[in-house]
Amino acid sequence: MKRRDFLAGTTSALLLGTLPRPAMAGVPMPYDWNAAPPMDDRRAFIDWMVQHRGEDANFLGQRYDRFLQLIAHKDVWDDRNKRAFLMTPREDFVTVANLSRAYEWHYLDIGYGVTITGPHTVARMTDTIDPKFGEKVLEIGTGSGYQSAYLSNLTDKVWTVEIIKPLFERTGARYAELIAEGYSEYAAINRKNDDGYYGWPEFAPFDKIIVTCGIDHVPPPLLQQLKPDGVMVIPIGPPGAQHVLKIVKSRGADGSIAVARSDIYHGSIVNFVPFTKFKDGTIEGTHNGG
């Protein structure tokens, strides 16, 4: 039985709020950075992915249909980023309750008071930082694991921080299952359970940083850990009124550092879960006003 057949056929038998646990059928072919599915034909894409990745045709069709919408809305524009979207099975990172909605436009609940960001926002934020192979990327807010999985189709160096320990553990179990099944690209994802406000200084500096929770300012530690000429995307603003900003850090000939900001949605508001913080080892409050 193929993993996606199992995943689609046993939804009702699994507990609400947990992730599907797939049958370990194995991915048919090893991961190849130089291989890409057809992008200009729905049937050809589905056939290629079934042959190379062993994925379910129904979900593949939904993924391709959403892909066309991403292009139409200019949320993805670079071929490498298009490939990353098409190669990442979003259905593996939603909860059972939302499995049939995996490729809908908007964010979905994943438990613990947080969400998986909608595919259009994930695509636009990722293409904005445009990670190249070999670049070091830091993600703040692992959540479901979908964003990191997406990034692992763009670079082999991904670091991600999640503050909610049970979610961190659940996502780790999901990665372990998928790596065992043959999604070897996910082995490039380095994870820790911590307060993401402070980044991951042991592995800094980073070429790119992506923040998936909302805050009213750019955390100084993240800006410090961004390389000169590096790019960060981060939702900035009060709760319910965030703007997703592109932050470009540059160094002048005299060694001075400059920071340029631009709004990747040209003024539109995009809501994100709050950027929570640790206090005395427990999650308490947010980093707003910090």
- Cα distances (Å, whole numbers) of residue 228 to 94, 129, 169, 199, 261: 35, 14, 33, 16, 14
The identity of residue 278, as a single letter, is F
Give mean pLDDT, residues 89-106: 96
The identity of residue 38, as a single letter, is P
**Predicted confidence (pLDDT) at residue 16 exceeds the cutoff of 70:** no
Give mean pLDDT, residues 123-139: 98
> What confidence tens digit (pLDDT) does each residue in 38-93 have?
999 999 999 999 999 999 999 999 999 999 999 999 999 999 999 999 999 999 99
Q: What angle do CA 179, 160, 25 make, to 5 degrees?
A: 15
> What confidence tens digit (pLDDT) does each residue in 168-222 have?
999 999 999 999 999 999 999 999 999 999 999 999 999 999 999 999 999 999 9
What's residue 256's pLDDT? 86
Q: Which residues pair with 257 in a beta bridge?
A: 251
Residue 89, phi then psi, degrees to nearest 5 = -80, 90
Q: What is the mean pLDDT of the chain?
A: 92
Can you list the alpha helix ranges (DSSP code H) found in 88-137? 119-129
- Residue showing tokens 């379910």: 56
Task: Parse the chain into domains and list their residue ranges.
Answer: 3-286
Among 26-30, 47-51, 218-222, 243-247, the least confident range: 26-30
What's residue 56's pLDDT? 96
What's residue 88's pLDDT? 98
CATH superfamily of 3-286: Vaccinia Virus protein VP39 (3.40.50.150)
What's residue 20's pLDDT? 55
- Nearest CA among 30, 31, 11 for reference residue 21: 11
